[in-house]
Amino acid sequence: MDSPANRRPRAGPLLAGLAVVAALAAGCDHQSPVRSTSTVEPAGVVRGGIPPCTGPESSALHFVAGAVVALRGSITEHHIAPGEIKDVLPHREVARESVGEGGEYRFTLPPGHYVLRVVRSRLASELPFVAVKIVARHTVHIDMPDSCK
């Protein structure tokens, strides 16, 4: 018979307690999905065509081939002489698209102000540009201005 002085504590309850603590710790180690605090606003779309140089009396029945760039920013005015103002376009090109005869350009862009500019086309004289504001989840249809009108 064991006397109280010779008895060792039982390991059973101690081991069971350690097993419960280990199981809880393992459960706490499981990572739940992280929710991002940054929000990326959905993009918007702008589409349109490059009309042929038709002059003031005609209307464009189709679009000509060319290339259009999207420049991030707004048009500013630069005073070059008394009474003489020049449009200054933004410099940051964010997208470029070539379109074939009869085709349309289409840009999906983050919300903001942009200038669309024709950089290559069969248009006579000037290469047109137009300002556009992109709004999230909206599509805007803007044909380039006819540079002959």
Is residue 75 helix, strand or coil? coil
> How many Cβ atoms are within 10 Å of 48's Cβ, its own excluded?
20
Among residues 86, 48, 14, 55, which one has the least CA distance to residue 148? 55
Instruction: Tell me the CATH number for domain 44-141.
Output: 2.60.40.10
Predicted pLDDT of residue 55: 60
> How many Cβ atoms are within 10 Å of 24's Cβ, its own excluded?
10
Q: How far is the C-alpha of 110 from the C-alpha of 30, rounded, in Å?
A: 36
Instruction: Kindly list the averaged pLDDT for each block of 10 residues, start to end, along the chain of length 149.
Output: 52 46 45 53 93 63 86 93 90 95 95 94 71 96 82
Predicted pLDDT of residue 105: 96
Predicted pLDDT of residue 145: 87
Predicted pLDDT of residue 56: 55
Predicted pLDDT of residue 39: 67
Q: How far is the C-alpha of 137 from the C-alpha of 90, rounded, in Å?
A: 24
Predicted pLDDT of residue 52: 82
Find the angle CA(116)-CA(48)-CA(51) to the nearest 5 degrees: 90
Predicted pLDDT of residue 124: 45
> Quick one: how far is CA 48 from the chain centroid?
18
Predicted pLDDT of residue 8: 52
Q: How far is the C-alpha of 81 from the C-alpha of 101, rounded, in Å?
A: 40
Predicted pLDDT of residue 138: 97
